[in-house]
Amino acid sequence: MKNKLALLLLVLCWQSTFAAVSVRVCGPDEQTPFDFRKIMVGQKLSLIVSVDPNEYWSGGFFIEGNERTVGRLEARDSDPNTRDFELSHYPAAGDYADVWDWKDSLRWGFDLYSSDSNCVSGDWFILDYIAEKPGQCRVEFYDYNTSWTEPKIIFSFEHAPSCDFNQDGVVNFSDFSQIAKYWLVDDCNDVNDCVAVDLDFDLIVDHNDLAIFSEFWLWDGSIPEPDPNIPPLPAPTPDPNISYSIVDANGLDEITLGINESITFYVDLTTIDQNDLRSFDIEVHISDPNLGSINNIRDPNATAAILATPRCSMFDNWGPAISDETAITFSTYSIALDPNTGMNDGHLVSFVYTANGTGDVVLNVVSVLSRNMDSNAIYPVTKSILIHQSDP
């Protein structure tokens, strides 16, 4: 449903019985239950998933359509090497739990996967919800063990304009003084700062705005600071036995191009242990997008291609990178073709790059997520290409 890798993992880890799943909505302190009254723009809530019993589970939270501009979902502590958000899954979800972001033309959100071993009953995942602007926003929660197409729960949040006029994280007398300052002003569009306190948008600051303001009196949006005694997780060490490198057709990692010249580049795989790459999700980034561009639109000219062998082409996917639209992303899998054979060394993907200006440009390859034949995350060494661009 939400992405192809999710479907693949479900096939691999299917359980014959379903877990009992519940979601609770709390304030930013993760403790105070939310009573589903109106929330202010800028207010944050916590969405906590609990699972019982201790068995594999997967699901997700998503916002669809135009409501994506009204509310926003966030996960915690993104790891660029694994694409995982490590602080959005609790230890009870197991050592290999994952939280992955997902965006397409219809929905934005996050997929949640527990570990297939050593998970225990309890709180497994947490996401943050932030009110972006006034209006109504629905958050759909999916339990993939029961349905990929129908949400298990739909949460509906109604947003009011922010009453924290000075943006200090609390609604108090400092904010009330702004209402008093513009009390009974009836031309808010023409008065500085009056628009912010016209909470019902009728151009008059009156008892209606005061009633809305009173709903959020002494609201405290501060979030507890992280425990300084808990050290951050170290970044994974790249494995010298596997590498991704960007090269031209001659295998060079430093070349010269003329302005408006286009060339095909490749991301190559080199390993010590052959056939140990099961899947990859990689991105190629341009150091200076003003000097060059990548044709990342899927079109009949096949200016980008996945070349890895062997693989199951039904999982092929490429296009603009999620985190950077000036980049390109590629992903595919070999498991559906042959569960015992990984990908061969050599060209994994190709793409066309065009030099648009003079200067030096570096193309960097980023391993968002790569897995070996045991489905464990691996961290390849990555090698860039240097392009000297000149006007002929």
Please tell me whether residues 70 and 178 are part of one structural domain: no
251, 386: one domain? yes
Residue 31 sits in a domain of what CATH number? 2.60.40.740
Model confidence, pTM: 0.52
Whether 103 maps to a domain, the answer reads: yes
Q: Are residues 116 and 186 in the same domain?
A: no
Q: How many domains does the chain have?
A: 3
Query: Is a pLDDT exceeding 70 seen at residue 9?
Result: no
319 and 357 share one domain: yes
Query: Residue 136's pLDDT is what?
Result: 92
Domain boundary (160, 182, 205) is at 160
Distance between CA atoms of residues 188 and 325, nearest Å = 39
Lowest mean pLDDT segment, chosen from 47-56, 276-285, 290-299: 290-299
Q: How far is CA 124 from CA 34, 58, 92, 269, 321, in A?
A: 19, 11, 6, 35, 28
The closest alpha carbon to 142, from 274, 313, 260, 3, belongs to 3
348 and 203 in a single domain? The answer is: no
Considering the domain architecture, whether residues 194 and 274 belong to the same structural domain is answered as no
Q: What are phi and psi of 10, to 5 degrees?
A: -65, -40
Answer yes or no: is 139 within a domain: yes
Q: Which residue, among 193, 128, 126, has the nearest Cα to 166 in the 3D structure?
A: 193
Q: Are residues 35 and 151 in the same domain?
A: yes
Please compute the mean of the pLDDT values over residues 101-105 and round it to a whole number: 81
Dist CA 362 CA 288 (whole Å): 8
Domain membership of residue 322 (yes or no) is yes
Owning domain of residue 179: 173-215
- CATH code of residue 260: 2.60.40.680
Q: Residue 137: which of 74, 86, 66 has the closest Cα?
A: 66
- The 8-class DSSP code of residue 93 comes to G
Q: Are residues 323 and 184 in the same domain?
A: no
Specify whether 23 is located in the same domain as 49. yes
Q: How do residues 39-97 score in pLDDT, each as one tens digit?
A: 888 888 999 999 887 678 889 999 998 899 899 999 998 777 777 898 999 999 988 89
Do 32 and 154 fall within a single domain? yes
- What is the average pLDDT across 193-217? 83
In the chain, % of residues over pLDDT 70: 84
